[in-house]
């Protein structure tokens, strides 16, 4: 079988941490051909998608995680599954890629479905579930943002399209830096941002739960480095073992029907205390961290699931 991975440049891959890499490696172990699809590598010709790809062989060699086997031009008939693994921001190019991938035959599973990725903004979509998210505001209004901050002793401010812990600020009521933080995040009050009430349990870290087809695949806690409030691993946080609680399962049960409806098969949710913070659908990570902590190989379950999707889709 031929698997395509739409992802960031190969030279950006951190072999020891990258979830895309471990999926590619497991695919290769099973004898499948693995193809790297760069941004801009999709062409639509008379309504039919064409993929300009590079065949790669993933290998666990730190300084050379990929052997390149040359560029190819694949048509739909040559493709068995597509993984969308490019990092946010969800900008015009990202949006264009999802539109082009909408033209792919339903015979070819896409993880995750492009239309679902357009629907679920990773930070805003969860706000509809008021019973499981902390008090939250999305706005670019200076007056409304300042009012929200005054109503809460401490808040977290972040952009709507950030990732990896970038541009996340913790603001105390009365903080002298409040105005400059808001001005910077909103680009002088021209872009919406997110404010959320600070959850005290964040001092002990947050929890990343990976979902496969709406069910828990694994979980870790991410604990911030000394001198930083951000728990994200790519912002210096550390992964530690954790358990999935009854409250976590309640949150998952609320999300599952919507995720499955939108074809969002591989998803990462972030939980602090009893609250859902984000739903990550673009390129969820932490598979390798979970593998190391629990001595498992979660990528096997993911590729097993993709194989089932392929089998089921060919019955259409």
Pick from 176, 198, 180: nearest CA to 189:
180
Q: Catalytic annotation on 270?
A: yes
Secondary structure letter of residue 233 according to DSSP: G
Q: Compute the distance between CA of residue 307 and CA of residue 87 in angstroms, rounded to an integer.
A: 24
Q: Catalytic annotation on 232?
A: no
Catalytic pick from 123, 207, 248, 289? 123
Q: Compute the distance between CA of residue 24 and CA of residue 299 in angstroms, rounded to an integer.
A: 9
Peptide bond into 31 cis (omega under 30): no
Catalytic pick from 206, 230, 232, 289? 230
Q: Catalytic annotation on 73?
A: no
Query: CB-based contacts of 17: which residues, under 8 Å, 6+ apart?
Result: 233, 285, 288, 289
Q: Compute the distance between CA of residue 137 and CA of residue 139 in angstroms, rounded to an integer.
A: 6
Catalytic pick from 2, 26, 222, 299? 222
Catalytic pick from 85, 158, 197, 207? 158
- The pairs formed by 167-176 with CB atoms below 8 angstroms and a separation of 24 or more are 168/229, 168/230, 168/235, 170/198, 170/229, 173/149
Pick from 86, 131, 4: nearest CA to 281:
86
Q: Quick one: residue 295, left, alpha or beta (phi over 0 = left, psi -120 to 50 = alpha)? A: left
Catalytic pick from 2, 112, 231, 280? 280
Q: Catalytic annotation on 249?
A: no
**Using alpha carbons only, how large is the chain's radius of gyration in Å?**
20
Q: Catalytic annotation on 315?
A: no
Q: Catalytic annotation on 123?
A: yes
Q: Catalytic annotation on 222?
A: yes
Q: Catalytic annotation on 147?
A: no
Catalytic pick from 112, 208, 231, 232? 208
Catalytic pick from 26, 80, 122, 270? 270
- What three-state secondary structure class fits 212? strand
Catalytic positions, please? 123, 158, 208, 222, 230, 270, 278, 280
């Amino acid at each position: 079988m031929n698997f395509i991975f739409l992802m960031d440049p190969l030279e950006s891959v951190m072999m020891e941490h990258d979830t895309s890499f471990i999926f590619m490696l497991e695919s290769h172990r099973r004898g499948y051909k693995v193809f790297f699809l760069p941004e801009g590598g999709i062409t639509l010709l008379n309504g039919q998608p064409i993929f300009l790809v590079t065949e790669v062989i993933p290998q666990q060699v730190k300084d050379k995680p990929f052997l390149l086997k040359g560029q190819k031009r694949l048509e739909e008939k040559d493709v068995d599954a597509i993984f969308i693994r490019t990092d946010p921001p969800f900008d015009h190019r990202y949006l264009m890629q999802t539109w082009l991938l909408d033209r792919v035959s339903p015979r070819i599973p896409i993880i995750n479905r492009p239309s679902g990725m357009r629907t679920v903004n990773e930070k805003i979509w969860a706000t509809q579930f008021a019973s499981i998210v902390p008090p939250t505001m999305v706005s670019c209004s200076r007056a409304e943002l300042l009012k929200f901050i005054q109503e809460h002793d401490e808040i977290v401010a972040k952009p709507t399209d950030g990732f990896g812990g970038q541009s996340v600020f913790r603001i105390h009521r009365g903080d002298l830096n409040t105005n400059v933080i808001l001005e910077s995040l909103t680009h002088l009050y021209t872009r919406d941002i997110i404010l959320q009430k600070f959850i005290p349990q964040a001092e002990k870290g947050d929890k990343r739960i990976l979902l496969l087809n709406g069910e828990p695949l694994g979980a870790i806690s991410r604990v911030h480095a000394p001198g930083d409030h951000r728990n994200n691993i790519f912002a210096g946080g550390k992964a530690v073992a954790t358990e999935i609680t009854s409250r976590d399962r309640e949150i998952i049960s609320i999300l599952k029907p919507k995720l499955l409806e939108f074809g969002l098969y591989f998803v990462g949710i972030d939980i602090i205390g009893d609250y859902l913070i984000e739903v990550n659908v673009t390129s969820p990570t932490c598979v390798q961290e979970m593998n190391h902590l629990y001595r498992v190989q979660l990528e096997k379950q993911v590729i097993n699931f993709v194989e089932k999707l392929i089998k089921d889709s060919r019955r259409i």
